[in-house]
Amino acid sequence: KQEVTQIPAALSVPEGENLVLNCSFTDSAIYNLQWFRQDPGKGLTSLLLIQSSQREQTSGRLNASLDKSSGRSTLYIAASQPGDSATYLCAVGAAGNKLTFGGGTRVLVKP
Amino acid sequence: GAVVSQHPSWVICKSGTSVKIECRSLDFQATTMFWYRQFPKQSLMLMATSNEGSKATYEQGVEKDKFLINHASLTLSTLTVTSAHPEDSSFYICSALVGNYEQYFGPGTRLTVT
């Protein structure tokens, strides 16, 4: 059974600092890995999707890497802003398009 | 981009009653939708896969007779929580599959059972 872990569970940084969020998974037989953002009481916003054959994806200040063999993905957010404060979730995609989510990292960017 | 809506956004019901939650794909057709549950300060857990025109597939540990799923059209899936109890209070989120692997999520429905 796939297990997804996110460390740290919470992170607080001053504005402008780079953010590094970690995600690990136990079963390397994945189809893809996605990073989502969730604001309090809201649904999910997709940030980046990395196919199993890819090593990284970039979008603006966001960069996500994937190392299937070691079961790890890292989300980098450059030059953090207060608006980046949210919970970030990683999810591993498997057969049947089923997603297994990590517990999330709550991020607070202080102005 | 693809938009998924949910209705209601929040609902309070009494223990023993049933509640229906709707998930709609607004600008596209979705043959497959997913239902997730999220308890406070926890992550999302997949409950079931909803396929248009066929029976839903439930994850292990999810009672199909308690959580009734109907995907009667290409734009609508419904989740009915039957005989709700306080332990069913949670945040329910649906998603719709676009293409082969991308899921677009709804805004969620907060259910409180008193």
- Per DSSP, chain A holds a count of helices (H) and strands (E) of 0, 11
| Tens digits of pLDDT across chain B (114 residues) | 689 999 999 999 999 999 999 999 998 999 999 999 998 888 899 999 999 888 999 999 999 999 999 998 999 999 999 999 999 999 999 999 988 888 999 999 999 999
Q: How many Å separate Cα B38 from the centre of its chain?
A: 11
pLDDT bucket at A41, cuts 50 / 70 / 90: confident
Locate tokens 């019901």: which residue?
B13
Mean pLDDT, chain A, rounded, equals: 95
Residues A79-108 have a mean pLDDT of 95
Residue B99: per-residue pLDDT: 85
Residue B43: per-residue pLDDT: 87
Residue B93: per-residue pLDDT: 96
Other beta carbons less than 10 A from residue A55's beta carbon: 11
Residues 75-114 of B with CB under 8 A from A: 91, 93, 95, 97, 100-108, 110
Contact B49 A103 (CB under 8 A): no
Residue B24 with chain A: CB contacts under 8 Å: none
Residue A96: per-residue pLDDT: 85
Residue B113: per-residue pLDDT: 97
How close is the nearest chain A Cα to the Cα of B18, in Å?
Answer: 23
Contact B103 A97 (CB under 8 A): yes
